């Protein structure tokens, strides 16, 4: 996995976080899938939120010079796939994420670490 993939992932994480995305997971899929390095999976709370997250991820990655190769599912807002080559972003509505279970399908792939920004106003969780 190259540093460009990791930079792309961090940009996508920041954009998804900004739009209220939840339950982030990044999987290293380079070994079983030589056409991509990372799957970034994120959940939106509603159809509109799913679309907003996908649009913000696209916008931020395009601003940093990365080209969107393919997008699917934006009209429905249930599962939007954005293919940036080395990084494939999956933005799911909660029900679709549970149904399709990409984490289960790719369970043999290691996770990729990333930093999640702290949203303004978040209270620390001391539980």
Per-residue pLDDT for 124 more than 80?
A: no
For residue 126, the model assigns a pLDDT of 35
Token pair 């540093």 is found at 3
For residue 3, the model assigns a pLDDT of 86
For residue 119, the model assigns a pLDDT of 59
Lowest mean pLDDT among 4-8, 13-17, 29-33: 29-33
Q: State whether residue 21 is helix, strand or coil.
A: coil
Specify which residues 93 forms β-bridges with.
44
The average confidence (pLDDT) of the chain is 90
Token pair 């990333």 is found at 114
What does pTM read for this prediction?
0.88
| Contact present, 87 and 9 (Cβ < 8 Å) | yes
Q: Walk me through the domains of the chain, giving residue ranges and CATH numbers.
A: 3-105 (3.30.460.10)
């Amino acid at each position: 996995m190259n540093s460009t993939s990791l930079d792309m992932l961090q940009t996508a994480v920041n954009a998804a976080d900004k739009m209220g995305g939840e339950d982030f997971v990044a999987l290293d899929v380079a070994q079983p899938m030589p056409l991509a390095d990372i799957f970034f999976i994120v959940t939106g709370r509603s159809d509109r939120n799913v679309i907003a997250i996908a649009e913000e991820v696209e916008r931020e990655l395009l601003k940093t010079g990365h080209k969107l190769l393919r997008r699917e599912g934006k009209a429905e807002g249930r599962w939007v796939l954005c293919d940036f080559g080395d990084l494939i972003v999956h933005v799911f509505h909660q029900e679709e994420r549970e149904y399709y279970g990409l984490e289960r399908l790719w369970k043999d792939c290691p996770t990729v670490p990333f930093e999640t920004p702290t949203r303004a106003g978040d209270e620390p969780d001391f539980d």
